Structure 1
Amino acid sequence: MKHLTAASVLALCVGSAALAQDFTLNINTALATSDPLYAGLEALRDNVAEASGGQLAIVLYPNSQLGPDEDVLEQARAGAPVAVVVDGGRLAVYQEEMGILGAPFLASGYEGIRNVVTSDVFQGWVDEMADTSGLQVLSFNWWQGERHLLTNKAITGPEDLAGIRMRTPGAPVWMGTIEAMGATPTPMPWADVYSALSSNVIDGAEAQFPAIVGANLQEVIDHVTKTGHINLITGLVTSAQWFDTLPEDLQAILLEESLKAGDIASYGTQDSLDAIEQQLVDAGVTVDEIDTAIFRDATAKVYDDLGYGDLRDQVQAIAAGN
């Protein structure tokens, strides 16, 4: 399905809302339906319908059918009943502190980063972003796994990434991290990565295990180097204007079920990682374990470069449960 224009999305949303349900929320995600996180979205859709007695319907659009994340965020800011699964780096343009969630080696695994995105400190950022930018976070506990380097040669340190054009999202924290690791950051939509790799427009990418197989990148890369440089926590973000039109009981249902569904998605992702790694190996991809200390040292400056030096200590303490 081709990307829709903003006008057609708004028309679609208005049309959806005119169905039998009182309210409809259209959720866009870059993920494929095979991704473990998508099971969480399906659970959200079903549980919200049941809890609301059919008053609130959710329609899912995988594979970025409504367009790139940044476009859907702008549609949400304009008041459209759309939501998107998005990382903190892309939200930093609206709420600067959100960018630290995508900073390098902030936390490992799900539990620590979950502490951060369910904390009072994080809720303060959520409230401020809703007031100043018109974006409402429904929950931010959608863990997609740790991101690794995808290349066609073995990587042991920054020197091996010299001259490598590596796809990354366009957010400053992502680009700064990849540059500090030694590669040349090359922003482009995720949907374009397969063709860009196969045609040598880029030399590599970085992604979590479920996304690699979801996009069939095992067909166009030879090596996965397990750096875990970014612990990818994402959130479900919608229009604050639209959210405020919901009755309070439906607001409560949507927030509560979004948090529950995020856990379903995240633990499902956690449980899938070993099997996906084996799938990559079976497809002929070399999966390398390396000492990541050299990359940790190389990327430490990213926090200070982006003004997160002081915030880093606070967030890492929260992640550690302190």
Structure 2
Amino acid sequence: MKRLSALFLVGVMAISMAACGQMSGSQESGDPKTGNQEAEVQKADSQESDSQQPDSQESNEQEDTNETYNFKVSITQAPTDPLAAYTQQWMDEVTQKTKGAVNFEFHPNGELGTINDVCEQISRGASIIAYAGPDAFSSSAPDLAILNSQYCLTSADQIDAINQSDWFKEQAEKLAQDGNTRILSWNFFTGYRHILSKTPIETPDDLNGVQIRVADSPAAIAFVKALGCSPVVTNWNEVYSSLSTNIVTACEAPLATLYSSSLQEVAQHCTLTNHLVSTGMMVIPEDIFTSMPKEYQDILTDAVYQAGVDFTQDSLSSELEYRKKMEEAGVTFIEPDVNAFAEKASSMYSSGELPFSDGLYEEIQNIITR
């Protein structure tokens, strides 16, 4: 009996040990079904992680694209000047096409200072876009000023030839690199400049000793000196008061600018000297421009260029209209021998007062006559 009991106990222990072995094996190797479920969970986690990575990159790119750029826009002309309307045109277009990412605050009438002052601020990286003449950059691209020199260009048709020339592209790059100033577009033809005076000017000799307002430009100053005038440098928004108080007795500008500034109220004689193909440019700090997304750069440059094209067409078609308006306001127009004025003014190019490279005048003449 005792023997049978011992055998029974041995059998029970063997069965228990076998069962424990099976349980241990199941825990180490894992249930096939349970293992597959865990693998699917890991795979799903991996896929979710992978899918989140591009979303994160896209979010970062979206943040960069959504950065806003706010500029003050400066022109010295009055808000009634046609230039103001076409400046507003490109500002509105850019803001709309960038969905508000590029915004502007408009400052006409020289509210931000003289052209030279504002261009100096731009060269230092101020968030300003300004309308300026090519003679505003004497420290970094002095040869550009030839484009704003009297009797150098003779027709608005020559603007495109200059824009497409290697010389102009080199000058624009020089200005960007040395002056931190990007030319957005040089194609804003404001009209042919003429002389408005308080006394009749029929020949160059009539200008001897005349106090005439000019911009702070070496070429403008050299021009009126060559004609025998005494230059008085003031900001454009001071011309009306200067004529009213006889600080000056003459000024020079396109007819649209003269009329929109109401100068026909204080000076009654306009001599059609056609001494300048007055063309300006819009400029922006180079460092800010290059920081903008390429899409915004293209939108801005395209809008400014097209506004310049439209403005030029307006200027070409409106000169007769402004002459009529000024005549109705009592202005007498004089059509002189323009060649006589050009011949007397030509001494400005040999006076030594202009900082141009040797042979530059001849180079420009070659460009516009090809």
The CA deviation string for residues 82-122 of structure 1, in whole angstroms up to 9 with x for no partner, is 01111112223331111101111122332212321343321
Q: Assess, with a 3 A threshold, how the Cα gap between structure 1 residues 137 and 280 changes in structure 2: closer, same or farther.
A: same
User: 2:188–2:309: 8 Å Cα contact kept in structure 1?
Assistant: yes
CA separation in 1, counterparts of 2:196 and 2:228?
14
Identify the residue that residue 200 of structure 2 maps to in structure 1: 154
Q: Is the 8 Å Cα contact of residues 100 and 308 (structure 1) preserved in structure 2?
A: no
Give CA deviations for 1:282-308 in whole Å, capped at 9, x if unaligned.
000101111111111111122233245
Pick the aligned partner of 1:194 from 240, 244, 247: 240
**Distance of 1:164 and 1:252 partners within structure 2:** 47
Give 1:300's match in structure 2, choosing from 343, 346, 366.
346
CA distance in 2, matches of 1:59, 1:108: 35
* Cα distance between partner residues in 2 of 1:51 and 1:300: 47
Equivalence for 2:285 = 239
Q: Quickly say closer, same or farther: Cα 1:49–1:29, change in 2 above 3 A.
A: same
Matched, 1:37 2:83: yes
Any conservation in 2 of the 1:89–1:174 contact (CA below 8 Å)?
Answer: no
Report the equivalent of 1:278. Answer: 324
CA distance in 1, matches of 2:108, 2:314: 18
Residue 209 of structure 1: aligned partner: 255
1:319 corresponds in structure 2 to 368
> Structure 2: 5+ residue runs without aligned partners?
1-65
The CA distance in 2 between the partners of 1:119 and 1:257, in whole Å, is: 22
Instruction: Decide whether the 8 Å contact of 1:166 with 1:205 is kept in 2.
Output: yes
The one of 247, 264, 267 equivalent to 1:218 is 264
Q: Which of 1 and 2 has greater Rg?
A: 2
Instruction: State the match for 1:8 in structure 2.
Output: none
Q: Does the residue aligned with 1:32 lie in a helix, a strand or coil? A: coil
Matched with 2:189 is: 143
User: Within 5 A, what are the aligned runs for 1:50-89?
Assistant: 50-89=96-135
Unaligned runs of 5+ in 1: 1-19
**Secondary structure, in 3 states, of the residue corresponding to 1:124?**
helix
* Preserved contact between residue 25 and residue 57 of structure 1 (Cα < 8 Å): yes
Q: Identify the residue that residue 93 of structure 1 maps to in structure 2.
A: 139
Which residue does 1:11 correspond to in 2?
Answer: none
Q: Tell me how large the CA RMSD over aligned residues is.
A: 1.7
Structure 1 residue 21: deviation in Å? 7.1
Counterpart CA distance in 2 for 1:295 and 1:96 is 25
> Percent same amino acid at aligned positions?
26
Partners of 1:264 and 1:199 in 2: how far apart?
37
Partner of 1:10 in structure 2?
none
Matched, 1:253 2:299: yes
Could you tell me how far apart the structure 2 residues matched to 1:27 and 1:100 are?
25
Of 82, 88, 94, 1:48 maps to 94
Instruction: Report if aligned partners of 1:37, 1:269 keep a CA contact under 8 Å in 2.
Output: no
SS in structure 1 of the partner of residue 135 of structure 2: helix
Task: Confirm or deny: 8 A CA contact 1:41 1:265 kept in the other structure.
Answer: no
TM-score (norm 2): 0.78
Tell me if the contact between 2:95 and 2:102 (Cα under 8 Å) persists in the aligned partners.
yes
Considering Cα pairs closer than 8 Å and 6+ residues apart, tell me whether 1 or 2 has the greater RCO.
1
Residue in 1 that maps onto 2:32: none
Q: What letter corresponds to residue 363 of structure 2 in structure 1?
A: Q
Shift of 1:234: 0.5
| CA–CA distance in structure 2, aligned partners of residues 260 and 89 of structure 1 | 23
| 2: CA distance, partners of 1:225 / 1:309 | 32
